[in-house]
Amino acid sequence: MLIFLVGMAEMVLSTLWTNYVQEKSPFGSTLVTVIHVFVWYYVLRTVMEQIDNIAIVFYYAAGCGAGTLLPMMFRDSIEKRFRAFRRKRRAKIKATKEEAIPAVQTLIAHEPI
């Protein structure tokens, strides 16, 4: 059963990675890649330990199918929430920048008359 969930998680990670690459987000794509490598490590280790158990492959394949289907079904609601989150974060960053840097008055040097 765990291998089903891992397969599902892997496809969700693949979808996230694709979105980050399309958005040209180096931090997001790198983070997802690192997590994806650990998922693959678990999958390879599990398959190698139980190489004669074909059911593992079927569970993993079913999990991958579900992991592909779920993000596609809920993509619109996920994107809407993600956009709202980013808007709030950007507004917070903008407010912080505006508060952190006070306006500097322009000083004009006058020559003595």
Whole-number Cα distances in Å, 23 to 27, 51, 80: 11, 39, 16
Statement: residue 106 has pLDDT above 70: no
Kindly report which listed range (6-10, 35-39, 101-105) carries the lowest average pLDDT score: 101-105
Kindly list the domain boundaries of the chain, sorted by start residue.
2-75
| Weakest-pLDDT range from 16-25, 39-48, 60-69 | 16-25
Whether residue 28 is predicted with pLDDT greater than 90 in this model: the reply is no
Classify residue 31 by burial, with Cβ atoms within 10 Å: 0-12, 13-18, 19+. middle
Report, as an integer, the average pLDDT of 55-71.
89
pLDDT digits (tens, 9 = 90+) for 74-94: 877 777 887 888 888 888 877
Burial label for 3, CB within 10 Å (0-12, 13-18, 19+), is buried
Instruction: For the full predicted model, state whether its pTM sits above 0.85.
Output: no
